[in-house]
Amino acid sequence: MDKNKFIDEVLIKKLNAKHVVVGNDFRFGHKRIGDVKLLKSYGHDRGIEVTIVSLIEILGKKISSTNIRELLILGKISEANSILGKPFSIQGKIIHGEKSLP
């Protein structure tokens, strides 16, 4: 998706974003051509406030949502918990299907 279309279609129309917080290495759009500088200026023109946060490293390893997801996929819950600073949890709505009668 084009970088500008990502902002217009996803952030504005779909998410109704008013404030976005991203890391200073955030990239988006087709071929990851959009960067934080573009997001900040293009977002400003459309009423989206952008906060850019510095990267955090633990033991020389960059902490990111991608890194945390990889740990969870690998079943390394304790490591993910230590990075998150709290136990990992999932929330959702239970939708009951057809139940068998005895």
Kindly give, in sequence order, each residue whose CB lies less than 8 Å from that of residue 45, ignoring residues fewer than 6 positions away.
none
Residues 47 and 73 in one domain: no
Quote the mean pLDDT of the chain. Answer: 88
For 29, the domain range is: 1-54
Q: Judge whether 7 and 40 are in contact, CB under 8 Å.
A: no
Domain assignment of residue 90, yes or no? no
pLDDT of residue 102: 67
- Within 10 angstroms of residue 26's Cβ, the number of other Cβ atoms is 17
**pLDDT confidence of residue 36:** 92
pTM score > 0.85 for this model? no
> 91 lies in a domain?
no
